[in-house]
């Protein structure tokens, strides 16, 4: 299996080399040269597997340059911190099923990809005798998941940008309480998109990228996308009966289009998915795109601070991978679209999207703060289940697309403890915290505050990067 760039300017590379690159040299994103496929017989054979075993099988279709025994060792290590089932499914009211993606060390779905990424990046670096300085941006959960997966690793240093004042108290504590020498938290005076723009600017400077050994672990990283594909297969296998070819629908709270892109990959691979439902918050640029075909990102000033902060994103990094498939893998049209975005502030794929969405069943909806509160309240009253605000966005939109006879699976985003203020507002209860979590919340915080200044960031990385 080889990987190419969405912009057509990268020599095909194997999995391990691609995941260390982050952005492709031409500024595009890595995608499989040919998408692997899975048939019904294979799916049935996978029903009896544990989660690490299933991960080995699915990831083995993408990471063909890694010996199977090495891959099995890495998936076992990646999911050792999780409960035995790793991803439990539980029913709530109205015929919905929650896919429990928040059982990892940082209580968010990002752990499922990040724990594997930590294993496979370390493996690739050891194979090549190299070091990597990870440069990332987070709106909340990606940063903590990355740092907890990579902390203490000798060949890896992490430079994680986050928007000042835009994360929950819990999210800040999970990141800033870490005091490992290889973890560098940088709070940028701006919003998530400003952080993301800084990452793209430095990653796009190939001389600086090579000199500083820069790589990425945010949702553009290939290992994260492929690792997230696994739980779509896992959830389907547990929501359907053996021997059938039952279609299910998935609803995915989305800001950066990484999680739902993995579902799109799973559908392309042959998993029987009827609909992929994208749930947005008030920063509903993606909902607008899937309803109209026009992609019009908002400025930093127009990006709202909401009660589902991990989705406070107006420029979806992974959308480019979807656009590549939307236009029939025509790299020239991808480049043209991004030129239009730079020049005019939007691009228009209305005609292409109408055909594509009908074929692939992608739909979308928006949830507001009032919707989140009402949804958290209704789920608690009918199911005695407390869900976080992002999952509430998913449940609210999922209810709009229920179909008789089609199971609707909603991807859980995080544990509610990460958003205690919103839970208190919705249902008036105080959540329990373990002694370990309370100690984290009370621990000293280590963070460097910085202006939205590319040169200041360059200087900081040059001073602290691994060589």
Count, residues in the chain: 467
Q: If we measure between CA atoms, which residue out of 366, 64, 26, 462 comes closest to residue 206? A: 26
Q: In whole angstroms, what is the distance from residue 420 CA to residue 13 CA?
A: 44
Q: If we measure between CA atoms, which residue out of 458, 459, 465 comes closest to residue 203? A: 458
Q: Active-site residue 110, yes or no?
A: yes
- Residues 365/397, Cβ–Cβ less than 8 Å: yes
Give the pairing of strands 3-5 and 30-32.
antiparallel
Q: What is the DSSP letter of 414?
A: B
Instruction: Please classify residue 9 by burial: count the beta carbons closer than 10 Å to its beta carbon, then call 0-12 exposed, 13-18 middle and 19+ buried.
Output: middle
Facing residues of 135 across strands? 159
Q: How many CB atoms lie within 10 A of CB 169?
A: 12
Instruction: Please classify residue 207 by burial: count the beta carbons closer than 10 Å to its beta carbon, then call 0-12 exposed, 13-18 middle and 19+ buried.
Output: exposed
Q: Which one is catalytic: 110, 209, 267, 418?
A: 110
Q: How many helices, marked H, and strands, marked E, lie in the chain?
A: 20, 15
Instruction: Please classify residue 37 by burial: count the beta carbons closer than 10 Å to its beta carbon, then call 0-12 exposed, 13-18 middle and 19+ buried.
Output: exposed
Q: In whole angstroms, what is the distance from residue 248 CA to residue 444 CA?
A: 45
Instruction: Please classify residue 436 by burial: count the beta carbons closer than 10 Å to its beta carbon, then call 0-12 exposed, 13-18 middle and 19+ buried.
Output: exposed
> Which two three-digit tokens encode residue 234?
């896992």
Q: In whole angstroms, what is the distance from residue 302 CA to residue 280 CA?
A: 15
Q: Which residues are marked as active site? A: 110
């Amino acid at each position: 299996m080889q990987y190419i760039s969405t912009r057509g300017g990268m020599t095909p590379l194997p999995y391990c080399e691609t995941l260390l690159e982050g952005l492709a040299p031409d500024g595009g994103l890595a995608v499989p040269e040919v998408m692997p496929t899975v048939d019904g017989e294979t799916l049935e054979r996978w029903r009896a597997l544990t989660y690490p075993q299933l991960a080995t099988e699915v990831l083995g279709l993408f990471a063909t340059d890694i010996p199977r025994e090495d891959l099995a060792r890495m998936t076992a290590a990646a999911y050792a911190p999780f409960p035995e089932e790793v991803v439990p499914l539980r029913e709530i009211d109205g015929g919905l099923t929650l896919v429990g993606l928040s059982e990892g060390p940082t209580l968010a779905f990002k752990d499922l990809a990040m724990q594997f990424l930590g294993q496979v990046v370390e493996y690739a670096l050891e194979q090549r005798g190299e070091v990597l300085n990870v440069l990332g941006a987070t709106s909340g959960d990606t940063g903590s998941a990355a740092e907890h997966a990579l902390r203490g690793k000798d060949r890896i240093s992490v430079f994680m940008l986050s928007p000042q004042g835009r994360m929950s108290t819990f999210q800040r504590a999970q990141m800033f309480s870490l005091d490992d020498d290889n973890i560098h938290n940088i709070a940028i005076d701006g919003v998530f998109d400003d952080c993301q723009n800084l990452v793209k600017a430095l990653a796009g400077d190939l001389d600086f990228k090579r000199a500083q050994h820069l790589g990425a672990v945010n949702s553009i990283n290939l290992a994260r996308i492929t690792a997230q594909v696994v739980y779509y297969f896992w959830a389907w296998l547990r929501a359907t009966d053996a021997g059938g070819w039952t279609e299910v629908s998935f609803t995915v709270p989305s800001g950066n289009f990484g999680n739902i892109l993995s579902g799109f990959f799973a559908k392309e691979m042959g998993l029987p998915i009827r609909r992929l439902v994208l749930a947005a918050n008030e920063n509903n640029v993606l909902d607008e795109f899937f309803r109209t075909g026009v992609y019009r990102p908002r400025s930093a000033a127009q990006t709202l601070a909401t009660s589902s902060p991990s989705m406070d994103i107006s420029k979806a990094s992974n959308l480019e991978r979807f656009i590549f498939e939307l236009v029939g893998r025509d790299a020239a049209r991808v480049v043209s679209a991004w030129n239009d975005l730079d020049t005019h502030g939007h691009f228009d794929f209305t005609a292409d999207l109408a055909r594509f969405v009908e074929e692939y069943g992608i739909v979308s909806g928006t949830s507001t703060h009032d919707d989140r509160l009402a949804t958290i309240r209704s789920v608690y009253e009918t199911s005695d289940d407390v869900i976080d605000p992002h999952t509430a966005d998913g449940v609210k939109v999922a209810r709009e697309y229920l179909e008789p006879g089609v199971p609707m699976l909603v991807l859980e985003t995080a544990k509610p403890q990460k958003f205690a203020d919103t839970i208190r507002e919705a249902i008036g209860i105080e959540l329990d915290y373990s002694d370990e979590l309370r100690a984290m919340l009370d621990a000293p915080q280590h963070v460097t505050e910085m202006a939205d200044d590319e040169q200041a960031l360059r200087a900081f990385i040059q001073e602290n990067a691994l060589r």
